[in-house]
Chain A
């Protein structure tokens, strides 16, 4: 298909599309998380007769409405920008997923209808009909979540097509169940769901902590001060506990990527996306250490301490069995020992500092905010890594981006034809660097590695230039 591609000024088009997308996604994920939590919190408040829960719930919805219009406007911009800059991808992808896109549109309409007209506008009017009002919130949350389900399905297809080819635009498909239920879909969906809860609540907790500080300065015993202190703590703690689902889901997700999109997996685990992945891990480490310390200082009961301990032990197990991580640094044993010592040390720290010091001090409020930011960065970096890892493919193994460079093409070839058949990771290219790459490649070909002359030359050139 010979479609003309629009060139963009200042930055290449992939930068523009990422900027537009990343301006939309945090808004959309915040709204979705708030919409799911609002009726739940309202229900808790209703059952406990505690107005703080309702106030928190209403503020979630109020904030969601503020974000809604700009977020939706940005969301409209994404397909429009893609149609012009990646026309072939869009035409073929929209052909494969026409009906899910239409269904998503219906869900979106239903979401607005319930959220604006039946949940927000009726909040005071139906104050004596709480179950009805909460059920409207549940409907809004359901449709909002369905929108996320559809997008996760379509987005995960781009990384793991699961053997469903991207049809040409003159081969109308409309919908493929196999493509929609592609291998990584359930893992992306659950990873994003818990990720949204976690990062949104941690960030909300951090922001509310700053508001608590500001209220405390004005009047330490006012109703607002008490409310913001409670709200910050509640959001932060729930967000922190939600995080523990992430490593478990993430492990399964990584396994699926390893099987279905091995080149992308290599890119993340030591390849060209690994720097970003490591930044993400550093953010998670910050979140765990500072957040964990705060939560255990604030909630000194044993149940919380055991809960955090259990979560950390699960993370420890995952780190031990995660195949590529074991090889980081070159020694599986060293890796295991260091991570075990660090996590066990942290568990000890948790039990030691349980209930000590005053978590209401300003420093801790700032720490909560910092953890919120770290959680947000980890979330943003995660999305970036997922997209970046399949580069230069737009849909893994199906279509490459128009601005493909020779270096990117050679790198892909290296992962696909050199590392994958030899069961190696990009890290091994550094650790097992030979005297001559040419000699090594030639030897491998003699040993049975299937490479054409051209492919061998490109791989050698890439290895000599980069390793």
Chain B
């Protein structure tokens, strides 16, 4: 299936294939992330209500769970739409990635079904299980780990698309006997998997919490009864603070995420940091926009937390922690060693200060009620989730033809085919962040050359390379003659070998087996 050689067009989509996938992907992610947050918040409310013997928390939990059930199905259907869209618009990519991660996807699907069933039973049998409250809370609490398992799986696949890591150079799914069918461990546990998972985990808790707080804020606006208003205020404040605590972890995780990306997805990193490629669309740098919104959220959260910390009756986030994170966040680009640090710094500071002032004004206007801040934070949080997902996808290098041009249709070839030529892209980039060698570089003493440990014989190569994954005993015990297939598969699993080295190993092992048989 060589689309490139055939130069055949793909199915066309109004606005472009990228747009449709981007739209569906962001739509799905924003809903799915919300569902994860909702599940967690519902459990918190239920536990608090049970411990305090306060039915109002349980009622609030049920209302949130009803919304959860409703939006969950929208997320599910979106996922189906995404599958169909990818099948038609990116057939090669989709078939390939499915071949590579089929069993992963099946596990994800099983979790999906278990989740849907548990969620349904949890909500629709709320009253029926009233006499078994602990069991009911446990059932609801199961949703969060199930969501996370499901979300780990998707993170494995989507982070692979950004940083293929070990699989990047070696694996070709179309290489015949070496093809990976169904499960690719090295690709799944790629360099950014951990950071993406951590980042999304904290972000989902924050986003879900802010959204619930926003819903409480809207309910406060809509309610006429003071008693109910007070009640939604309490619920909103609790969930807002939980969300903000989770939110404070994000700049730290984000820093290390960016750091990993710098080494394993250099061009994507550059695109993000200096605003290149599809990160800039419609003349707007969406990464920067997202960061400014995050700064505004920090400003709003800081003001709210400061006000809340003065009350002795409610749980409050320690203010030194909030101040520390704010300062660290503002120093983000300094830490990354980027050129635009000061512009970013002042822009972020302005966004944070303005949002903080506005937050203060809103809280004063409503006599200390956080309703407006809740709603505002919910909106900003939704925007950051959408923009975060967008820029991650948009940061990947654009794909080019073998001649180094962008042509219609060719931008739908996945990264790990041979069509992507990073060297051609690098020529056209203005690497402003690379300052070149300092003047004194030549005067520095040279680092001594390390002695090379080049393996010389085939036996050495076998010892050095094979033992990194398994013992040599496995090789000795294998009596088959199809060493080319076996070694080919090992390459597909990630063992780095040149063709010459592979040939050496295959010949050596085949001869050794033959010799043993003769003896």
Contact = CB atoms under 8 A, between A and B. Distances in A.
B433 interface: no
Contacts of A62: 124
Contacts of A79: 80, 83-84, 87
B99 A171 contact: no
B186 interface: no
Contacts of B513: none
Contact of B113 (A2, A68, A74, A174): A74
A87 B96 CA distance: 10
Nearest to B83: A79
A353 interface: no
Contact of B74 (A2, A7, A109, A172): A109
A249 interface: no
A80 B83 contact: yes
A349 interface: no
A68 B73 contact: yes
Which of A66, A84, A117 gathers the greatest number of chain B CB atoms within 10 Å? A84
A342 interface: no
A90 B92 CA distance: 12
B11 A174 contact: yes
B429 interface: no
A105 interface: yes
A95 B77 contact: no
Interface stretch (B104-112, B134-142, B189-197, B306-314): B104-112
A170 B8 contact: yes
Contact of A76 (B70, B76, B87, B119): B76
A326 interface: no
A441 interface: no
Interface residues of A, number: 46
Interface of B is mostly: helix
A172 B102 contact: no
Nearest to B8: A170
A83 B115 CA distance: 23
B91 to A, nearest CB: 5
A66 B182 contact: no
Contact of B120 (A70, A74, A98): A70
A219 interface: no
Contacts of A75: 80
Contacts of B3: 170
B117 interface: yes
B10 interface: yes
A121 interface: yes
Given A95-B91, A174-B88, A73 B109 contact: yes
26 contacts: A1-B1, A2-B1, A3-B1, A3-B95, A4-B179, A7-B181, A70-B113, A70-B117, A72-B77, A72-B80, A76-B83, A79-B83, A80-B83, A90-B87, A94-B88, A94-B91, A102-B88, A105-B81, A105-B85, A109-B74, A109-B81, A116-B69, A121-B70, A172-B8, A172-B9, A174-B12
Given A6-B102, A69-B72, 10 more contacts: A2-B1, A4-B181, A65-B120, A65-B124, A77-B106, A80-B98, A80-B106, A91-B91, A91-B95, A112-B74
